[in-house]
Structure 1
Amino acid sequence: MIRVAVLTISDSCAAGVRDDASGPAVARVCESQGWAVVHREVLSDDRGRIQTRLRELADAGAADVILTTGGTGIAARDTTPEATRAVIEKELPGLGELMRAEGLRRTRRAVLSRAVAGVRGRRLIVNLPGSPKGAVESLNAILDLVPHIVELLNGRTAHGEGA
């Protein structure tokens, strides 16, 4: 079973000004796949704090996949991609490209996403947009790839039919 941590990155949610809708939406998609959501947390848009939590979660090994939602745009406090790049060891640019390409089918604003995906140790880290709709659509765009990535990260490298 794939274990997932979901981090919502939002100043307003962290301050209690707004309810977190994106984190629960992402968690529901994961659970619909039979994955276990083992951790959920809301963080402010603080680059250092995001880096620290990503590093802690990845290195602790309790989750196979760490999904962030929020902080991927171009606003001054949107620093999730920078925090993620500082933590990952290998970037997977194709995942971000795939999410943006799928988003473009719905809105031209998808090109404003700076979402990053990559690997730290044996953990996959993926940035998703902050809106519930954008987060779910982006996750759905890569959903079928996640189990294969997790298998590869865990040393199961046999290539099946169509791989």
Structure 2
Amino acid sequence: MLAKIGVVTVSDRASAGVYEDKGGPAIIDVLGEILVSPWQPATRLVADDVAEIEAALIQLADIEACSLILTTGGTGPALRDVTPEATQSVCDKMLPGFGELMRQQSLKQVPTAILSRQTAGIRGRTLIVNLPGRPGSIRLCMLAVFPAVPYCVDLIGGARLETDPAKCQAFRPPS
């Protein structure tokens, strides 16, 4: 079965065409590197606006039936950074361990990682994970949390995601 994966870039400047979106393509590059099962991206580029972010997440989860949605941007402390709020408002359950692990990994690189507010949650059969906005940080955080993603998606009834064990060792308990 083909897995649909939502990729949402949250950026005022990129959505206005002032700045090139580098976050969404960085997510797609990492997915292309680590996934061996068939998948298809469904991309969105929205402004730092709670209603726009919520609408994109709801459409990707409920209409497009994405098993996984990865967001980039809007997770800092600035006034316009509202991705975690939008994510929390559309999710049925929150999974704070994702954000905790991403901050822990990022703190090894920069002390300002403590300012990040990445989180994750579940909406129906969709796992939503907020990633940072910088391509290098996206890669670091994705590789940190992705070992838990396929099993989480299994547990909520999403499409089966298989990784290349040489690139990302996904964990599934022995059956």
Structure 1-normalised TM-score?
0.92
Q: Is 1:143 matched with 2:156?
A: no
Give the aligned partner of residue 6 of structure 2: 5
- Matching residue within 106, 109, 116 for 2:112: 109
d(CA) in 1 for partners of 2:7, 2:70: 5
Give the aligned partner of residue 28 of structure 1: 29
Give the aligned partner of residue 122 of structure 1: 125
Indicate if the aligned counterparts of 2:11 and 2:47 stay in contact, CA closer than 8 A.
Answer: yes
Moved segments of 4+, more than 4 Å: none
Report the CA distance between 1:106 and its aligned residue: 1.0
Q: Is 1:91 matched with 2:94?
A: yes
d(CA) in 1 for partners of 2:158, 2:132: 30
Structure 1: which amino acid aligns with 2:155?
L
**Alignment RMSD (CA, Å):** 1.8
Gaps of 5+ in 1: none
Q: Size of the alignment, in residue pairs?
A: 160
Aligned-residue identity in percent: 44
Indicate if the aligned counterparts of 2:67 and 2:125 stay in contact, CA closer than 8 A.
Answer: yes
d(CA) in 1 for partners of 2:7, 2:158: 24
d(CA) in 2 for partners of 1:98, 1:2: 25
Structure 1: which amino acid aligns with 2:21?
D
Gaps of 5+ in 2: 160-171
d(CA) in 1 for partners of 2:87, 2:6: 14
d(CA) in 2 for partners of 1:155, 1:106: 33
Secondary structure at 1:42 match in 2: strand
Secondary structure at 1:19 match in 2: coil
Q: Is 1:70 matched with 2:83?
A: no
Indicate if the aligned counterparts of 2:48 and 2:82 stay in contact, CA closer than 8 A.
Answer: yes
Tell me the alpha carbon deviations over residues 56-94 of structure 1, each in whole angstroms, 9 at most, x when there is no partner.
Answer: 211124311001000000111000000001000000011
User: Pairwise mapping of residues 146-157 of structure 1 onto structure 2 (< 5 A)?
Assistant: 146-154=149-157
Q: Is 1:38 matched with 2:41?
A: yes
Structure 1: which amino acid aligns with 2:32?
E
Indicate if the aligned counterparts of 2:28 and 2:41 stay in contact, CA closer than 8 A.
Answer: no
